[in-house]
Amino acid sequence: MSYIEAKEKYAKLGVDTDKAIETLKNIPISVHCWQGDDVTGFDNREALSGGIQTTGNYPGKARTPEELMADIDKAMSLMPGKKKLNLHASYAIFDGEAVGRDKLEPKHFKKWVQFAKERNMGLDFNPTFFSHPMVKDNLTLSSPDENVRQYWVNHGKACLKIAEYFASETGVPCVMNIWIPDGYKDIPADRLGPRARFKKSLDEILATPYDKSKVYVTLESKVFGIGLESYTVGSAEFCLSYSDRAGITPLMDNGHYHPTEMVSDKISSLLLFNEKIALHITRPVRWDSDHVVLFDDETKEICKEIVRNDALDRVFIATDYFDASINRISAWITGIRSVQKALLFALLQPNDRLRELQNNNELTELMVLQEELKTAPFGDVWAEYLENEKIPADYLSEVKEYEKEVLLKR
């Protein structure tokens, strides 16, 4: 079926495909830098910690800032739509002597700002509270060791200044996400104490003046981690409660909940009580395993909730996954395209009609229409979108050529 025929079929359902395509072009997705080097970063060579594990040993991992930037360029050249780049603090670039994470400055990210500005995109940021000698007994901002706790408080304060620098330089607001891996493997004797210290640390970080029109601080929860199975300090209840009290933005990672919990079901509740919310879209397999995002049911449902609630300008969308068992650049492209497919699929839903059927309790008709939409000619609209963006549908051929000419020579 051609695009013209697909357009006519969707029109009969009350959907304007041209409008959907035009809307999709302008939805920014924040692309995580850490897929390209297995979350290694450049500020030290510590092994991954904090419940994070990258599996696989596919050849061609980026080893330097220059290699990572080249790989990002290649991946983004095969991603349609509007992008941002999401950085972790561990990707600081030191031209001279390295400094600790508690003493990071904007100058250590000058090359990333130049990279972003040359490509006309914004930057998001994440303090890195893992893979570091100052993570003591799996604790950072909740540590009972005041020297450790203060080190990480200073890191958070430094990152706030860097995030504001990103926004000022690029002209695009920066989302600065705080997530800590703190917790215990077995049942703790004191659940309150670590959370009280975490609260105190966040209060101290946020006491640093920053321009709230430029920087959106987000707080991300997690249900458990490897080696932290019994207790995480930054639970969902803690992070939602703190975000509400402090007036910052809640962030949901759809791998950070119990396997039977769906982030898609939580979005509408958070939208009722927050000006903005943020998402890290991933693909958990039985747990927070950060698989490459696919065009699957939960990704579709997440995007449906954003679109049907008219919240495209209220939800910060980012990806967060890492797979070292396959070509890393293909993993980037596949995940980003999957999110964009899900957004387009959501934009092609006759939401007013679906809502009307539900409100009128015409549930038989609602089920039939929802099923019919599953086999509507979505693929032809996606192909038209790629053609409009001048992006080839087949990206694997280019990726494999880049692998042959660049990655396998590393």
Look at residue 381 and tell me if it is in a domain.
no
Look at residue 22 and tell me if it is in a domain.
no
179 as an active site residue: the answer is: yes
Phi-psi category of residue 156: left, alpha or beta, with phi > 0 → left and psi -120 to 50 → alpha: alpha
253 as an active site residue: the answer is: yes
Q: Of 158, 80, 96, 153, which is closest to residue 125 (Cα–Cα)?
A: 158
How sure is the predictor about 45, in pLDDT bands with cuts at 50, 70 and 90? Answer: confident
How sure is the predictor about 305, in pLDDT bands with cuts at 50, 70 and 90? Answer: very high
132 as an active site residue: the answer is: no
Burial of 372 (0-12, 13-18, 19+ CB in 10 A): exposed
291 as an active site residue: the answer is: no
Distance CA 319, CA 35 (A): 10
Predicted local distance difference test score (pLDDT) of residue 54: 87
Predicted local distance difference test score (pLDDT) of residue 47: 75
Per-residue pLDDT of 355-368, as tens digits, reads 999 999 999 999 99
How sure is the predictor about 95, in pLDDT bands with cuts at 50, 70 and 90? Answer: confident
Average of per-residue pLDDT across 243-251 = 98
Q: Which of 71, 288, 384, 403 is catalytic?
A: 288
CB 216 within 8 A of CB 176: yes
Q: Which of 155, 256, 266, 276 is catalytic?
A: 256
Q: Where are the alpha helices (DSSP H) in 119-170?
A: 146-170
Q: Can you state the percent helix, strand and coil of the chain, rounding each to 5? A: 45, 10, 40
Residue 395 forms beta bridges with which residues?
Answer: none
Distance CA 114, CA 375 (A): 44
CB 160 within 8 A of CB 210: yes
Look at residue 390 and tell me if it is in a domain.
no
How sure is the predictor about 61, in pLDDT bands with cuts at 50, 70 and 90? Answer: very high
For the chain, the residue count is 410
61 as an active site residue: the answer is: no
Q: Which of 179, 301, 304, 323 is catalytic?
A: 179
Cβ contacts of 202 within 8 Å, gap of 6 or more:
141, 156, 178, 219, 242, 246
Average of per-residue pLDDT across 205-223 = 97
Whether the pTM exceeds 0.85: the reply is yes
Q: What is the CATH number of the domain that holds 332?
A: 3.20.20.150
296 as an active site residue: the answer is: no
Q: Which of 88, 108, 266, 280 is catalytic?
A: 280
Predicted local distance difference test score (pLDDT) of residue 331: 98
pLDDT score of 235 more than 80: yes
CB 225 within 8 A of CB 290: no
Residue 68's domain comprises 28-349
Distance CA 61, CA 36 (A): 6
Query: Do strands 231-232 and 183-184 pair parallel, antiparallel, or not at all (unpaired)?
Result: antiparallel
Q: Which of 38, 220, 305, 380 is catalytic?
A: 220
The total number of structural domains that make up the chain = 1
Instruction: Average the pLDDT over each of 48-52, 76-80, 288-292 and give the range with the smallest value.
Output: 48-52
Residue 136 forms beta bridges with which residues?
Answer: 139
Distance CA 408, CA 186 (A): 43
Predicted local distance difference test score (pLDDT) of residue 128: 97
Look at residue 322 and tell me if it is in a domain.
yes
Q: Which of 38, 71, 124, 320 is catalytic?
A: 320
pLDDT score of 26 more than 80: yes
Q: Which of 164, 290, 305, 380 is catalytic?
A: 290
Cβ contacts of 377 within 8 Å, gap of 6 or more:
1, 5, 6, 9, 10
Distance CA 279, CA 378 (A): 25
Look at residue 386 and tell me if it is in a domain.
no
Look at residue 278 and tell me if it is in a domain.
yes
108 as an active site residue: the answer is: no
How sure is the predictor about 46, in pLDDT bands with cuts at 50, 70 and 90? Answer: confident
Q: How many helices (H) and strands (E) does the chain have?
A: 14, 10
Look at residue 393 and tell me if it is in a domain.
no
Per-residue pLDDT of 398-407, as tens digits, reads 999 999 999 9
Look at residue 38 and tell me if it is in a domain.
yes
Burial of 400 (0-12, 13-18, 19+ CB in 10 A): middle
Secondary structure element (H or E) that encloses residue 281, with its range: strand 277-281
